[in-house]
Each structure stands twice: as structure tokens, then as C-alpha cells.
Structure 1
């Protein structure tokens, strides 16, 4: 999983690629929405980093993003609080922890796009 920051005349745009260097379409569509809502470049980049952490978690556990349940979100929370998930602390790790602590565990009905409120 790689996060690339594309730069152009319209600003910056985070692009998440899977291990086969294919675009992670749900993240791409979400980033397009944020860009169309005129979110700041730093907001897009922060969300991109947070979503990379989330997508790494999904991939590592063989989960499918649109089949996530509150149990999976709890596992994700536990993953974030590990000393060193996957033996390294990813960029943005602390920011997403703060967002989850502030928002609490969302219910399935009230969850945001990925079930976790992201900082950005």
C-alpha cells in the first residue's frame, strides 16, 4: 500500500495505491469528494494518511471495507493503541487515535464514511 501526493495546478491530491499499484477506488472517490468540497490540501493529505492506515489494517486482516461491522471497528481501535502496529508507527497514527477517542465507537447506523471519524 502506497500513498502518493500528486501536485498540479489545482493543488495537491493524495492517491492511495494497493500492493499491485492499482488505485484504491473507494478512497479515490472519497478524496475526489473532499476536493470538490474545496477542502484544503493539508486536509486532503491528512485524510489520505489516515485512510492509508485504515486500509493497511483492512488488507492485513483480509477485511472488505463495505462489510465492516462495529466489531471490526473495535479491532481497529485496538490496533491503533498498540505500541507499534506492524512494527512501525505510521504517519498520522496519533491524529487518528485522537479522532477515535473524541468520537467514541460509532454505531453502524451513525458511522461516517469508513465508520471512523478522521481528523483533517
Structure 2
């Protein structure tokens, strides 16, 4: 299914949409920040590696993952990798204190 067909359908996952874009336009820029630029193909492969590592480290479907960091291509890839692995990504501001982070545990 093409990305256009996915967008027009009643259901498609974000992970499937990224994969479709990577297949359709592998060399086009998918994400960029002042320091890095990734093509759709590179982004898809990076997301796969991150998802595999998270699963290897014990992330299971529905598990929450707290992600702290600066806005960057890498942070976006970690968010998408968490989702691809079946987890739920929760962003934590980089200015949060340890006490604030501990209070966020549900």
C-alpha cells in the first residue's frame, strides 16, 4: 500500500507510513536539524535499530518509555523507535529535576 493510500484509508500506523515513505522516496530528506539530516531510508533503518534494541532491553507492547533530551533528529528517531517497538513514548523536558521526573512515574 502506498503512503497516499494509507492516508486515504481508515487506518494506518505511523510506523507503516514511515516505511511506505522510505520505500517510495528513500533518498528524500525525512528529518533535519542544524547538526544532522536523515533520508527516509536512513530514518527507517535507524527506527528499526532503536526498536530492536528497546525490545532486546525488555520494552514490551504498551510499556511506557520516558524520553528526555533536546529537540533533535535523534530524539525524534527514539520516539518513533519506541512506537515501532510497541511502546508509548512520553517526553520529559530537559529542564525537569530528578524529583519532578520521579513524580511523573504512574
TM-score above 0.5: no
Structure number with greater Rg is 2
**Normalised TM-score (structure 1):** 0.31
**Normalised TM-score (structure 2):** 0.34
